[in-house]
Amino acid sequence: MADRVYVFDTTLRDGEQSPGATMNQDEKIRMAHQLETLGVDIIEAGFPIASQGDFEAVQAIARAVDSVQVAGLCRAVIGDIDRCWEAVQDAKNPRIHTFLATSDIHMKHKLDKTPDEVIDMIQTAVSHAKQYTDNVEFSAEDASRSDWDFLVKVTEVAIEAGATVVNIPDTVGYSQPFEYYELIKYLKDNVKNVDDAILSVHCHNDLGCAVANTLAAVTAGARQVECTVLGIGERAGNAALEDLVMAINTRKELYDVETNVRTEQLYPSCRRLSQIIGMPIPPNKAIVGANAFAHESGIHQDGVIKNRLTYEIMTPDSIGRTSNDIVIGKHSGSHAVKNKATELGYELENDQIQVLFKAVKDLADKKEQIYDEDVEALILESVYRRKDRFRLVDMSVFSGTGDVPPHAATVMEFGAKGAAEIKRTSCFGEGSIDAVFQSIYSLIGVVPRLEVYSVNAVTEGADALASVAVRIAHNGTKAVGRANDADVVKASALAMINALNRMEKAKEER
């Protein structure tokens, strides 16, 4: 049998550190369930010591999933480790993941510690974590820029103290595949107790080598890969889970390893994350992009028609991608809508089905063709949207090319339904979207800085749902808002209101 490579998914921890990828607790739990369906071995659910919100999200995920290990990240500090265990202890198989920097530059300038002091901290931290669980992982932060012989000593001490997994991360995306291979091989050959633990790798993509470095490490003997869906994460991101898994699956004769990932769930998982964080999948994205199985060249088309293997090394079905067949319309019943939601991976209650059914009917009156992506967007927009403090009631927008500047009249509802206050205003703007935003700011009494505004079509065609994402900042608090609607101006208003509601919630929690 081929060796097993364990897939450690950090979409909900490192991935969420990607600008604009913040998720609330409900969204994290839904994504965790999808990762469980995907078949990852470990979910890194968050950094419990970071905030009360992070702690509660990790705790909720630990209680929500069954067939996957749940890890919490913590510094090599006793208080961090205690807090991490408190968050993950209810998981079926909890893991404490503790880390400490080991490169000269980090030890000197960040930690202000000597190598011997760092060794003592590692021994103390891992031993303390081991009192809670046998499932302990230690990460040598900035390992790829650490002295190799010092890294040998660090790995030996961590394993002796009880670590069952030792991670050798390329924290700043500095390494190249050939040297990363040599580093992992050096550790395999020189760490005396290396067979008592699994060597793991966590690669960043600053130089575009995250996936290549990870695969090189697997070839050298690493047996855990740390990655994220769509490669999201700090700075340029992480190794993309879908790329790693399909490389291992497609080139089995080279790697001679296997994972537990259900590849037919790769595309649904990427699409789910894209919908949740409001970031579209780039068309040229490997494996799951819209162009991954498209052929425009006449020579390529001719070859594919004759035999798909001429230009396709994997099939759309192998990653769970199906054609955009029209499945729902204005004449569809609630049973058909429920079946479609289930097919897309959403188990909805009867009251949620009725909300979705109404949303589908409303969209069918505006749009001739309804695709899977439309239905999923409606689920996220209509079923899972939080109860907001600020809500849009109505708006009217004027835009033109004459002397009268664009302006918008907006009606909003404030407070709990049934006891809500209605407010109205109108404002001018540089354009119709800006006019709407200015009217919303006027009503709420906050003028945030708009950092990101993006519009994408959920599906093809002039009548496609518009998916709008915004990121705003105000007095040190940032928030992301997302919304979908057939009208791009309305979607923009809803996205901004969503962001302002999230900002309000963040301020309350803080």
Find the CATH number of the domain harbouring 133.
Answer: 3.20.20.70
* CB-CB contact of 207 with 239 (8 Å): no
State mean pLDDT over 488-505.
91
Of the candidates 269, 348, 283, which has an alpha carbon nearest to the alpha carbon of residue 12?
269
Of the candidates 84, 87, 163, 75, which has an alpha carbon nearest to the alpha carbon of residue 121?
75
What pLDDT score was predicted for residue 386? 62
Q: What's the number of CA atoms in the CB half-sphere (13 Å) around residue 351?
A: 1
Q: What's the number of CA atoms in the CB half-sphere (13 Å) around residue 298?
A: 0
Does residue 104 carry a pLDDT above 80?
yes
* CB-CB contact of 158 with 150 (8 Å): no
pLDDT-derived band at 311, boundaries 50, 70, 90 = low
Say if 94 falls within a structural domain. yes
* CB-CB contact of 159 with 134 (8 Å): no
What pLDDT score was predicted for residue 425? 96
Reported as type and span, the H/E element at residue 198 is strand 198-202
Say if 289 falls within a structural domain. no
Indicate whether 379 and 493 sit together in one domain.
no
Indicate whether 481 and 343 sit together in one domain.
no
What does R_g of the chain's alpha carbons equal in angstroms?
25
The residue segments making up the domain with residue 133 are 3-277
Indicate whether 55 and 189 sit together in one domain.
yes
Spell out the SS3 assignment of 309-378.
HHCCCCCHHHHCCCCCCCCECCCCCHHHHHHHHHHCCCCCCHHHHHHHHHHHHHHHCCCCCECHHHHHHH
State mean pLDDT over 112-131.
98
- The pair of three-digit structure tokens given for residue 134, joined into one six-digit string: 């046998």
Cα 240 to Cα 264: distance, rounded to the nearest angstrom: 16
State mean pLDDT over 322-333.
66
- Secondary structure of residue 400 in the 3-state scheme: coil
What pLDDT score was predicted for residue 387? 67
- Secondary structure of residue 251 in the 3-state scheme: coil
Say if 251 falls within a structural domain. yes
* CB-CB contact of 395 with 436 (8 Å): yes
- Identify the domain boundary among 353, 368, 383: 383
* CB-CB contact of 442 with 427 (8 Å): yes
Does residue 309 carry a pLDDT above 90?
no
Indicate whether 394 and 376 sit together in one domain.
no
β-bridge partners, 96: 72, 136
Indicate whether 460 and 318 sit together in one domain.
no
6-19 per-position pLDDT tens digit = 999 999 999 988 87
What pLDDT score was predicted for residue 279? 83
Say if 345 falls within a structural domain. yes
Residue positions counted in the chain: 510
Does residue 304 carry a pLDDT above 50?
no
Cβ neighbour number for residue 231 with a 10 Å cutoff: 25
State mean pLDDT over 374-399.
84
Report which of residues 184 and 349 the model is more confident about. Answer: 184
* CB-CB contact of 428 with 417 (8 Å): no
What pLDDT score was predicted for residue 310? 61
Say if 246 falls within a structural domain. yes
The letter for the amino acid at 281 is: I
CATH number at residue 434: 3.30.160.270
Indicate whether 378 and 398 sit together in one domain.
no
What pLDDT score was predicted for residue 327? 61
What pLDDT score was predicted for residue 369? 73
Does residue 479 carry a pLDDT above 70?
yes
Cα 29 to Cα 36: distance, rounded to the nearest angstrom: 10
Q: What is the DSSP letter of 204?
A: B
198-243 per-position pLDDT tens digit = 999 999 999 999 999 999 999 999 999 999 999 999 999 999 999 9
Pairing of strands 407-414, 69-75: unpaired
- The pair of three-digit structure tokens given for residue 287, joined into one six-digit string: 């494996």
The letter for the amino acid at 82 is: D
**3-state class percentages of the chain: helix first, strand second, coil last, to nearest 5:** 45, 20, 35
What pLDDT score was predicted for residue 73? 98
Cα 345 to Cα 91: distance, rounded to the nearest angstrom: 23
Indicate whether 178 and 271 sit together in one domain.
yes
Tokens 């209101």 map to which residue? 497
The letter for the amino acid at 204 is: H
Indicate whether 28 and 112 sit together in one domain.
yes
155-168 per-position pLDDT tens digit = 999 999 999 999 99
Does residue 463 carry a pLDDT above 80?
no
Mean pLDDT estimate for the chain: 90
First-to-last alpha carbon distance for the chain, in angstroms, is 51
What pLDDT score was predicted for residue 303? 55
Does residue 46 carry a pLDDT above 90?
yes
Indicate whether 75 and 47 sit together in one domain.
yes
Indicate whether 402 and 317 sit together in one domain.
no
Say if 284 falls within a structural domain. no
Counted domains in the chain = 4
Say if 426 falls within a structural domain. yes
Cα 490 to Cα 466: distance, rounded to the nearest angstrom: 9
Indicate whether 404 and 369 sit together in one domain.
no
Does residue 299 carry a pLDDT above 50?
no
- The pair of three-digit structure tokens given for residue 267, joined into one six-digit string: 């595309």
What pLDDT score was predicted for residue 301? 46
Percent with pLDDT over 90 in the chain: 65
244-288 per-position pLDDT tens digit = 999 999 999 999 999 999 999 999 999 999 888 878 888 899 999
Does residue 117 carry a pLDDT above 60?
yes
Cα 309 to Cα 311: distance, rounded to the nearest angstrom: 5
Cα 149 to Cα 155: distance, rounded to the nearest angstrom: 10
Indicate whether 302 and 265 sit together in one domain.
no
Say if 451 falls within a structural domain. yes
Cα 331 to Cα 79: distance, rounded to the nearest angstrom: 58
Does residue 508 carry a pLDDT above 80?
no
Phi, psi of 275, deg, nearest 5 = -65, -40
* CB-CB contact of 485 with 470 (8 Å): no
What pLDDT score was predicted for residue 418? 66
Percent with pLDDT over 70 in the chain: 92
